[in-house]
Amino acid sequence: MSRPLPATSPASASTASVLRQFYALTKPRVVQLIVFCALIGMVLAVPGVPGWPEVQRGLLGCIGIWLVAGAAAAFNCLVEKGIDAKMKRTAWRPTARGQLSDRQALIFSAVLCAAGSALLWFTVNPLTMWLTFATFVGYAVVYTVILKPLTPQNIVIGGASGAMPPVLGWAAMTGDVGPEALILFLIIFLWTPPHFWALALYRVEDYRKAGLPMLPVTHGNEFTRLQVLLYTFILFAACLMPFIYGMSGWLYLAVAVAVSIGFSGYAFALWRHYSDALARKTFRFSLIHLSVLFAALLVDHYLY
């Protein structure tokens, strides 16, 4: 007969639980998308197939960016713990539930930021470190502390921080910021408002209860839907720029047109006939739009 497995001790179970709580503070899904977009910038910055030095620098750059992005997410959870507790979507966060103290969250954020910044400075280059740190300040302080509670344009202005990952990736590999990186920045910058406003439309009561001046709260459902539609049209044009500038080929163009038509189609349907279900579908498709668009850039880079 086989021996029974030893029961997990309360101490080890408690430690695992605390580690999961700290990990949750980093908003893993958001950070994964950030690192993915940074990786696209890295790949596009290197002509042809990268050699081992480029692969090594890219890997270290991704780790450093992940650490600083996780630090910004943890700081955001700390600052917004009161707001998070009032919203169904975020009430589960460890800081909102009081599972982690303010001191624990602050130290965790500081350690991640310091470790990521040091890694980028010593193994990648100082420019990438400073740009990544500026992104941390832009998101964790300028957006979270200043813009989000004060203006319905918080997503538009604060979107600059969220659009930085491909610029960070480009700087990591080249040591500078080229026009190609700025085109990628523009795409994410214009993608951010319709992405978040689609979410805010069906979460409007949460934002109203939390006292946040999101656009659907301050300007109403109909006005927000129109803004979502208009931004998808502008985004459509921006998504064509990689092809027009010559940094991609016909494969990317075909994919960009297809997913942009899809995003605009969802936005048009949302504008004409609103429902929470359609707003959810629009939000989910926005994630597909950006992921597929950047994946197409990656594939096209090796075919073009």
- Can you say how many angstroms the Cα of residue 242 is from the centroid of all Cα atoms in its chain? 21
Residue 273 CB contacts under 8 Å (≥ 6 apart), including other chains: none
Amino acid at 219: H
Burial state string for 38-58 with b = 16 or more CB within 10 A and e = fewer than 16: bbbbbbbbbeeebeeebeebb
Identify the H or E element spanning 180.
Answer: helix 179-202
Tell me which DSSP letter residue 26 carries: T
Cβ count near 59 (within 10 Å): 13
How many whole angstroms separate alpha carbon 274 and alpha carbon 267?
10
Distances (CA, A) of 62 to 33, 69, 112: 11, 10, 14
What is the arithmetic mean of pLDDT over 287-302? 92
Are 229 and 252 spatial neighbours (Cβ–Cβ below 8 Å)?
no
How far are the Cα atoms of 33, 41, 104, 106, 176 from residue 165, in angstroms, in the given order? Answer: 9, 8, 27, 23, 14
What's the rounded Cα separation, in Å, for the pair 241 and 200?
28
Q: How does pLDDT run across 16-25, given as a tens digit for each residue?
A: 788 889 998 8
CB atoms under 10 Å from CB of 135, counted, come to 23
What are the respective helix, strand and coil percentages of the chain, to the nearest 5? 80, 0, 20
Q: 21-177, what's its fold?
A: Tetracycline Repressor; domain 2 (1.10.357)
Burial 136-163 (b: 16+ CB within 10 A, else e): bebbbbbbbeebbeeebebbbebbbbbb
> pLDDT exceeding 90 applies to what percent of the chain?
65
* pLDDT per position as a tens digit, 262-277: 999 999 999 999 999 9
The helix/strand/coil state of 150 is coil
**Chain segment 218-240, per-residue pLDDT in tens:** 999 999 999 999 999 999 999 99
Binning pLDDT at 50, 70 and 90, where does residue 148 land? confident
Judge whether residue 9 has pLDDT over 70: no
**184: phi then psi, degrees, rounded to nearest 5:** -65, -40
Residue 253 has pLDDT above 50, yes or no: yes
